[in-house]
Structure 1
């Protein structure tokens, strides 16, 4: 039983576990509904029911963000409500962004990482955010307009089929999103396609070194909560290598288990899932 089912029934995550089908369409629908609810709630966590922190229940506390690797300057510079507390790391910390670069943020949400990246690449650079949830795109675009950011461009689309020109991006970043994608291999291939030669991938996501229990993998609430879709490290390495990436580096962060245990209290999924920095380059 998922944490949502334990607390208030499955209505909070848009998935009835007893009848849920883990098809690609069902996964996308559950994820889209969950994050639309997150971004349209009046206060952090409204409409969600799974405890403090994470992709399940947003945690916008500055201490949590700093544990993920964000600085006080990052938090101060982000527009109001851009930080929805949905990450599991800080991909920008390892991306080593340079002025003038074009950055693509996969699953850009309300724009938190995109705005931090926009500051790093400066007015001569560009940050493209792609998200499949219309409400997220609307919120991110409003944040950009209110804050006066001119070098961000938020686009509606799936990251397995991105509305981005081939070979047009210097860096691909993402924060706790690849796990939410049904076709992870295709998402990695798309990331490779849009990168220029010499471009790099720098993402934070959840991974696993063991096979998750079947009841967890089939639970759409846990999938939307960034747990059931955690990618096995060996599979992720194969996806990256098969797409053509080189200099692949996957660095699990054991300390992340301390906050992952709060994502689904009592289920002990921190024994299976850990956050990691994932880096690779396109030759």
Structure 2
């Protein structure tokens, strides 16, 4: 993990390159927990894949979440800020020999580690030829790295976007290269306020994924401006800064690590509320599949969802995994709204899965 802005914008790029390429040798060298994965239960199939990843690749990994979405077979995936390649290699196994993974990073030292272990992982996965490549570049300049328009099914990113100053350009480029129905699935760090110039200019806090954190509301505004659907919150965890010298710089500012998913849909997508039934066909999710922290689909159980969520399911890689029906006329369901992750932390993220039609005739 460590790809962000081109050098001509300011000195942040060089500082981040130096931090992740030279100063950090392993995750133990990090000074905060912002760029490490919070404790969470990994599905067994993901644990099994992670056990195959080379030790050096794992030791050089820095990230704030587990960016492994569901339904990956035969997908073409782009990893923004791929670093040592840990997530890329896991994804290359999960997409299978007919899928493909591209990792982009700007740090030579990280790319060297990633490229050194291609043959090792292809042999471990039982693949005859590589289904993965690593390219050098900046995540808001994907065209310069040869990533074409509408060419990628899924983009993942693991605590990297906050390292780049021009986040609007990052999201714009992601939107450009995604196919219609494609998804940006990423974890990052967010603040409860717009950060001061003192925090923004702190080199260590930049490298630790803190100084570049957006105010959480800014992400929703940027996503809307670029054209993405409203961000869906998958998971979230509190971040505590314990080093006194860093706490002094940060003052009362609070931070949270959040995993979001953003979808790119056609402008004319059908957005009618629907009753959907999950058919249990997503690999390793036969009993249920989690869409976000607030919505889980049970195999065979009808549930009424809002028009935006229905449009995502119909247009995305999940379209064959659901049966769609017209929503019952009196069905209750939750409209999608912006969610403050700090409020979710305080409340525990109350779950509302919507409701079914009342008994008898329509209300």
TM bracket (short chain): 0.7 to 0.9
Cα deviations by residue, 1:146-185 (Å, 9 ceiling, x for unpaired): 3226111101000110121111100000000000011110
Q: CA deviation at 1:127?
A: 0.6
Match for 1:158 among 138, 142, 147?
Answer: 138
Show structure 1 runs of 4+ deviating over 4 A: 68-71
Distance 1:97 1:38, change over 3 A: farther
Question: Matched residues in 1 for 2:163 and 2:241: separation?
Answer: 18
Q: Larger relative CO (CA 8 A, sep 6+): 1 or 2? A: 1
Task: Judge conservation of contact 1:165–1:194 (CA < 8 Å) in 2.
Answer: yes
Higher helix share: 1
Task: Judge conservation of contact 2:89–2:121 (CA < 8 Å) in 1.
Answer: no
Question: Matched residues in 2 for 1:118 and 1:265: separation?
Answer: 41
**Under a length normalisation based on structure 1, what TM-score does the superposition of the two structures give?**
0.78
Q: CA deviation at 1:265?
A: 5.2
Q: CA deviation at 1:108?
A: 0.2
Q: What is residue 137 of structure 1 aligned with on the other side?
A: 111
Considering only CA atoms, is the larger Rg found in Structure 1 or Structure 2?
2
RMSD between aligned residues: 2.5
Match for 2:181 among 175, 190, 198?
Answer: 198
Alignment of 1:36 onto 2:21 = yes
Q: CA deviation at 1:73?
A: 2.1
Cα deviations by residue, 1:21-65 (Å, 9 ceiling, x for unpaired): x983200010011111156x4xx258x4x546553xxx6xxxxx5
Task: Judge conservation of contact 1:103–1:126 (CA < 8 Å) in 2.
Answer: yes
Q: How many residues align?
A: 243
Alignment of 1:74-113 (within 5 A): 74-83=49-58, 84-92=60-68, 95-113=69-87
1:81 is paired with a residue of what secondary structure? Answer: helix
Q: CA deviation at 1:190?
A: 0.4
Task: Judge conservation of contact 1:252–1:274 (CA < 8 Å) in 2.
Answer: no
1:25 is paired with a residue of what secondary structure? Answer: coil
Distance 1:66 1:74, change over 3 A: farther
Question: Matched residues in 2 for 1:231 and 1:193: separation?
Answer: 22
Question: Matched residues in 2 for 1:116 and 1:265: separation?
Answer: 36
Cα deviations by residue, 1:109-128 (Å, 9 ceiling, x for unpaired): 00011111111111110010
Cα deviations by residue, 1:250-272 (Å, 9 ceiling, x for unpaired): 4562x332xx435x555345952
Q: What is residue 67 of structure 1 aligned with on the other side?
A: 39
2:231 is paired with a residue of what secondary structure? Answer: strand
1:274 is paired with a residue of what secondary structure? Answer: strand
